[in-house]
A and B are shown apart, each in its own frame.
Chain A
Amino acid sequence: MGRITLDKVTKRFGDAEVIPPLDLTIEDGEFVVFVGPSGCGKSTLLRLIAGLEDVSGGEIRIDGTAATELPPAKRGLAMVFQSYALYPHMSVRKNIAFPMKMAGMPKEEQERRIDNAAKVLNLTDYLDRRPGQLSGGQRQRVAIGRAIVREPAAFLFDEPLSNLDAALRVGMRLEISELHNRLETTMIYVTHDQVEAMTMADKIVVLRAGKIEQVGTPLELYRTPRNKFVAGFIGSPTMNLIEGPEAQAMDAHTIGIRPEHLDVSSTDGRWRGTVGVAEHLGSDTFFHVHDTGLAEMITVRADGEVQLRHGDTVYLTPQDGKLHRFDEQGLRIA
């Protein structure tokens, strides 16, 4: 079981309020991702749940019991750190055994769980090595192994893939998702990478300056962002946000259209412009179009086969029903 409730949780460092009163419920078995730009308080929020930071106000409940005052060791949560935080003087086996040793678990049970974890994480051949002799990906797997043997109420991941190279990151992302499918344990995952958030989460919590901007499934956030910030943060390349007469004509302060929701034509369309930079990715091509008469440069995501080059003239038309409208406060207009 791992239902975590935050009730008006607040955090202040001196006079600075980094997390204003915040309410959030994480259901048992859910994969929740905290996402936001650097300094938005997502790691602080995770550390509050872990008990590594004391809350300045409010209450944290884990499975209905008050955990606000409990030390990290007593909360039954396991954490995987960005730096892996393995114990460098211990072998992989001892690293994984450490939480069980602290819990006073019988030796045979420890051995059984270590073997299981090693099998699941492909670490069997490395059990007697020191962390210093492992690659980044293997170290992160050891860190995950150390977390799963405890069978915690919930896993907390603090940007666990940031130190890995791109290819490894995609592989580990998949492994963590598979682990979640198999264990069905609550997972809270902090990242600044919206692709990780979109691909892994059951539920995404978008944070800015310690405040929750929106909570929802990845597709909810993609389809109906509640405000301009979420609209700009979720999706890659980012949504085109257009102000001025074009927006006013639609009774909005700002209109938004995602790069993949623009139809490209060489003969006619709503906005005529010139291709600036074309980025060919193979599967897709990103065009940066200017001189459209709009103040902003427009990014378009088109099929990889579309052959347009720097200086070509294009016509862009937003697809029906894909335009987002926002008012002066940046809030979505339904």
Chain B
Amino acid sequence: MARAVTPQRKAINTIAAWIIGLLIFFPILWTILTSFKTEAAAVAFPPQFLNFDWTFENYTTVQERSSYFRHFWNSVVISLGSTVIGLIIAVPAAWAMAFVPGKQTKNVLMWMLSTKMLPPVGVLIPIYLLFRQFGLLDTRTGLVIVLTLMNLPIIVWMLYTYFREIPVDILEAARMDGASLRKEIIYILTPMAVPGIASTLLLNVILSWNEAFWTLNLTAAKAAPLTAFIASYSSPEGLFYAKLSAASTMAIAPILILGWFSQKQLVRGLTFGAVK
């Protein structure tokens, strides 16, 4: 029997959900508000919520001092590049693991996941040295390579979960209907897996966009993405909270908007297969 939900219970749940949601969103809201304050208002105590003099000064200063669009473009190239290359490698891999699993498939999947448990700093020095050796330091190519490798386990896992949900019967029906492997992939598998591929793509763009450890350690100026752009406002200039907030807002805005528009797709992707 389904549990009855009383109106009171529903109201309590709604209020609780709003409180949790606002708590999670608050730091972002505060950052955005601070970006419109003067430096003095940003550190004022007690903190000013909405009753301050709104100004765009921080944004103009940030744009004048450092080129936002160059960093933005680096972020786009690095996150899209690493995701697309990751997908190109992961689709056939997940395909094989989902539809023609071998004895070691499970172990390979677990091993891939285990690499995500390794602290990245543990391999920083070898990777740094390799990058220096190959002239990849402060290049977008280098970052695309390292982020592809970092995110590949997640991409493979997500796609694997998706493909597993496609009933084998349907693929066999296509085979019986005269489809070659190529046509089976084009006409049946790909259209059925599009939602999965799309949400994997979105999630990985977001992960790569927000990645800070490798981007900060392996870039200096040329290939620096928006994460490095934010970081450049933290220490050397002292604590300019308002400008730091403006830089942060500019850095997270694109991905926030992308996430907002694709949230339905993302939630579906992340919870797929959890409930049958």
Contact = CB atoms under 8 A, between A and B. Distances in A.
A72 B169 CA distance: 13
Interface in A58-112: 71-73, 77-79, 81-83, 85-89, 98-99, 102-103
Contacts of B179: 73, 98, 102
B131 to A, nearest CB: 44
B169 to A, nearest CB: 4
Interface string B167-198: 10110111111111001000110011000000
A205 to B, nearest CB: 21
A151 to B, nearest CB: 13
A71 to B, nearest CB: 7
Contacts of A83: 167, 169
Contacts of B187: 98
A50 interface: yes
A81 B173 contact: yes
A99 B192 contact: no
Interface in A105-150: 146, 150
B177 A52 contact: no
A interface, over-half SS: loop
B177 A146 contact: yes
Nearest to A77: B176
Interface in A162-215: none
A212 B176 CA distance: 26
A278 B209 CA distance: 73
Given A73-B180, A102-B183, A85 B170 contact: yes
B172 A98 contact: no
Q: Give the one of A71, A85, A88 with max B CB within 10 A.
A: A85
Contact of B175 (A71, A89, A146): A71
The range of chain B's interface size is 10 to 19
A102 B176 contact: no
Interface in B148-173: 167, 169-170, 172-173
A78 B169 contact: no
Given A83-B167, A85-B169, A102-B183, A52 B175 contact: yes
A102 B176 CA distance: 10
Nearest to B180: A73
A89 B192 CA distance: 7
Nearest to B176: A79
Given A81-B169, A85-B169, A72 B192 contact: no
Contact of A102 (B170, B172, B178): B178
A52 B188 contact: no
Given A87-B188, A89-B191, A89-B192, A99 B178 contact: yes
B178 A73 contact: yes
A146 B174 CA distance: 11
Nearest to A152: B176
Nearest to A75: B176
B192 to A, nearest CB: 6
A106 to B, nearest CB: 16
B173 A85 contact: yes
Interface string A219-262: 00000000000000000000000000000000000000000000
B120 to A, nearest CB: 39
A52 B170 contact: no
Q: Among A51, A77, A88, A146, which residue has the most Cβ atoms of chain B within 10 A?
A: A88
B170 A72 contact: no
23 contacts: A52-B172, A52-B176, A72-B175, A72-B176, A73-B175, A73-B177, A73-B178, A73-B180, A78-B177, A79-B172, A79-B176, A82-B169, A85-B167, A85-B169, A85-B170, A87-B173, A87-B174, A87-B192, A89-B192, A98-B179, A102-B177, A103-B178, A150-B178
Top 8 closest pairs, chain A to chain B, by CB: A102-B178, A85-B173, A99-B177, A85-B169, A73-B178, A79-B176, A72-B175, A89-B191
Given A72-B175, A89-B192, A146-B173, 5 more contacts: A81-B169, A87-B192, A98-B174, A98-B187, A102-B177
